[in-house]
Chains A and B, each alone.
Chain A
Amino acid sequence: MSSTAAAGRTIQIHDPTLRDGHHAVRHQLDADQLRGYAEAANAAGIPVVEVGHGNGLGASSLQVGRALLSDDEMLSTVREALTTSKMAVFMLPGWGTVRDLDNAVAHGVDLVRIGTHCTEGDLAERHLQHLRDAGVEAHAVLLMSHMATPERLGEECARLVGFGASGVGIMDSSGHYLPGDVTERITAMRAAVDVPVMFHGHNNLGMAVANSVAAADAGADILDACARGFGAGAGNTQLEVLVPVLDRIGYRTGIDLYKLLDAADLAERDLMKAPPAVDSIAIVSGLAGVFSGFKTRVIDVSAREGVDPRDVFFALGRLQAVAGQEDLIVDVAQTMAKAAAENAPERVSA
């Protein structure tokens, strides 16, 4: 099967296994794990390998989880392992600062992604300008993008290019999209900017590969995917599925299939207890439109407060909680526990 839209067009695969995957293991990957996977990805010819705490540079915290390794340790380990693949990092303004960016540049990072909530692109203005002035390739990424209209995403992307972004993209941080949603959004972004356009999927509703194909067909140039889907919540788009699927449609990725499958096998063996699954919590988080990375905290806090984690996800969805607002989980769970206690049938005293 091949499509005329594809016609041999090259899609750049960007692999955040060693960044987004951190959400699935509470940011506890060690240096051997990072090195092993980075070497395997490099050998497979994956063009870009992203590394870091799940929420990016400078994000190790009680709020979202403390990482086992420092940013310095992660970056120097992966830099050494990558001989041909580019090394990428991610940073959220308000979490990391220009100091963290300069530190990553000193470690030899090739590509920096600056992320903001999908309607708050101007938070990245100074960081994108700083990277442009430093001569470092900088892309801008809009998180939780299901919360904005296609038109708004197009406007944000145009603004981000004005700040100096040499690529723009959206994340389906909640795994909420269906393919038609992605087509509309990528089409609007493609029309708004001339720089490469990126899509980053999550698999909460089992749609990550289909959504990524829809993005490519609508003109996306860069697709994110992780080995075994290793990532927040139900996981990301599964890398070793996406690459051959793109190939069958007629897109090129330049990735060696067997070495890619080897890298994915290594990831399953060395990075995770079990590959991500579309479990009940993941489905609810996708339906509620809540950031997949909330999963481990919601489970912990719900158990402590004695409430149903699914209710917590829907309540967070109603509050329109966005990535980084993990502190709301305690309030929501405590409010529910209190309401449940007040509504419990009164005990009849003898």
Chain B
Amino acid sequence: MKRAGRLSAAVLGAGLIGVDLADKIMHSDVLDLGLVVGRDGANAGLRQATRLGMPIADRGIRSLVEVDEPFDVVFDATNAVAHAEHAEQLAPFGTMLVDLTPSRAGQMVVPTVNGASAVGNSDVSMVTCGGQAAIPVLHAITCEHRVDYVEVVTTAATLSVGHGTRINLDEYVDTTQDAVRTFTGVGDVKAILNISPARPPATFRVAMSMLGSGFREDSVRDLAEGVAKELREFVGGFVVSACSVQEERAFVAVEVMASGERLPRYAGNLDIINSAALSVAERYADDRRSIARAEAS
């Protein structure tokens, strides 16, 4: 059921990302959660969604295509290989597709850097969890300092990495590298992903190393802290955990603790990409609402 002025939203994929995202949408003031879609009713994620009071369907993309009224926004939380088909099937409906897989298909968006450019795109890529954490920091530093090489090492706790991500490691690496290149203008970029088995689980973490010239400890630290403050507006647990600067080399590590009631604290990877995806969709909803208002007046 659609409440006045809200956009209808569906989540495709009932893995770790999908269920948390659906939960975040339930708390949104501008989106209505219409459906959480999996491919197997016995799936743990769908059962959890049912327990949380969410409407579910289990026929994959068909559950979204064969509906009376198409959804305004669909979040794709499946895997990179499946995304192209999902985009194709939804194209006729004018749906805004927000892609949480590392498919690199749509316009890449990092809300604090280019959030405005999401509006008007029918397929928006949320890059990767590591990209969402690293790019704001790297963007700020590369605006102020000459950087010739960037390396991004992401570490996520094993319990926070679902099957879709596990079979998409290559896409994760390629998409993160591409996005860092695009947003920083630095050509030489390397991305690495580690999965930590530690118990208790390790907090989501992204370590960035840069080679360049004229780095200063105070400048790099201030830039990173400034970005962290800005990001905490929508990802409360974002902190700078280490900073080490020499003349031609800078190292910044950030950690993201998940906030909210449902996610375990270590799962900052889920929190940051889902919060970013939600903010993109909400911005689109606000935009649609102002257009509707303008037309009505």
A binding-site residues for B, Cβ under 8 Å: 61-63, 93-95, 97-99, 117-120, 122-123, 125-126, 147, 319-322, 324-325, 327, 330-331, 334
Decide if B197 touches A147 in the complex (CB within 8 Å): yes
Q: List 22 A-B contacts (CB under 8 A).
A: A62-B149, A62-B151, A63-B207, A63-B209, A94-B169, A94-B173, A94-B193, A97-B173, A99-B170, A117-B195, A122-B163, A125-B166, A320-B202, A321-B196, A321-B198, A324-B192, A327-B207, A327-B209, A327-B251, A330-B242, A331-B242, A331-B253
Decide if B198 touches A126 in the complex (CB within 8 Å): no
Give chain A nearest CB distance to B76 CB in angstroms.
Answer: 19
Residue of A with least CB distance to B249 = A62
Measured between beta carbons, the chain B residues less than 8 angstroms from A99 are 170
Decide if B197 touches A119 in the complex (CB within 8 Å): yes
B244 at the interface (CB under 8 A from A): yes
Decide if A62 touches B211 in the complex (CB within 8 Å): yes
How many chain-B residues does the 8 Å CB contact rule pick out?
Answer: 33
B185-212 contact mask (Cβ, 8 Å, vs A): 1 or 0: 0000010111111110010010101010
Please judge, given known A-B contacts A94-B173, A122-B163, A126-B170, whether A63 and B253 are in contact too, CB under 8 Å. Answer: no
B155 at the interface (CB under 8 A from A): yes
Measured between beta carbons, the chain B residues less than 8 angstroms from A325 are 155, 194, 196
Please judge, given known A-B contacts A94-B169, A94-B173, A327-B253, whether A120 and B195 are in contact too, CB under 8 Å. Answer: yes
B binding-site residues for A, Cβ under 8 Å: 149, 151, 153, 155, 158, 163, 166-167, 169-170, 172-174, 190, 192-199, 202, 205, 207, 209, 211, 241-242, 244, 249, 251, 253
Residue of A with least CB distance to B168 = A126
Please judge, given known A-B contacts A97-B173, A125-B166, whether A331 and B241 are in contact too, CB under 8 Å. Answer: yes
Give chain A nearest CB distance to B86 CB in angstroms.
Answer: 20
Cα–Cα distance between A126 and B172 once the two chains are bound (Å):
13
Decide if A319 touches B197 in the complex (CB within 8 Å): no
Cα–Cα distance between A95 and B249 once the two chains are bound (Å):
22
Decide if B174 touches A97 in the complex (CB within 8 Å): yes
Cα–Cα distance between A331 and B251 once the two chains are bound (Å):
10
Cα–Cα distance between A319 and B266 once the two chains are bound (Å):
14
Residue of B with least CB distance to A305 = B244
Measured between beta carbons, the chain A residues less than 8 angstroms from B205 are 327
Give chain A nearest CB distance to B103 CB in angstroms.
Answer: 15
Residue of A with least CB distance to B209 = A62
Cα–Cα distance between A120 and B158 once the two chains are bound (Å):
8
Known contacts A62-B149, A94-B172, then 9 further A-B pairs from the complex at CB < 8 Å, ordered by chain A residue: A93-B169, A97-B173, A120-B197, A126-B169, A126-B170, A320-B196, A321-B198, A324-B194, A327-B155
Q: How many A-B residue pairs have CB under 8 A?
A: 85
Decide if B167 touches A126 in the complex (CB within 8 Å): yes
Measured between beta carbons, the chain B residues less than 8 angstroms from A117 are 195, 197
Give chain A nearest CB distance to B164 CB in angstroms.
Answer: 12
Residue of A with least CB distance to B198 = A320
Measured between beta carbons, the chain A residues less than 8 angstroms from B197 are 117-120, 147, 320, 322
Cα–Cα distance between A50 and B265 once the two chains are bound (Å):
41
Give chain B nearest CB distance to A349 CB in angstroms.
Answer: 27
Give chain B nearest CB distance to A34 CB in angstroms.
Answer: 23
Give chain A nearest CB distance to B204 CB in angstroms.
Answer: 13
Measured between beta carbons, the chain B residues less than 8 angstroms from A331 are 241-242, 253
Decide if A125 touches B195 in the complex (CB within 8 Å): no
Decide if A61 touches B170 in the complex (CB within 8 Å): no
Of A94, A122, A331, most B-chain CB atoms within 10 Å:
A94
Cα–Cα distance between A112 and B173 once the two chains are bound (Å):
20
Cα–Cα distance between A75 and B153 once the two chains are bound (Å):
26
Cα–Cα distance between A116 and B170 once the two chains are bound (Å):
14
Measured between beta carbons, the chain B residues less than 8 angstroms from A98 are 170
Residue of A with least CB distance to B208 = A327
Decide if A97 touches B195 in the complex (CB within 8 Å): no
Measured between beta carbons, the chain B residues less than 8 angstroms from A320 are 196-199, 202
Residue of B with least CB distance to A335 = B242
Decide if B167 touches A322 in the complex (CB within 8 Å): no
Decide if A125 touches B167 in the complex (CB within 8 Å): yes
Decide if B198 touches A330 in the complex (CB within 8 Å): no
Cα–Cα distance between A325 and B196 once the two chains are bound (Å):
8
Residue from the list B149, B195, B209, B253 in contact with A123, Cβ < 8 A: B195
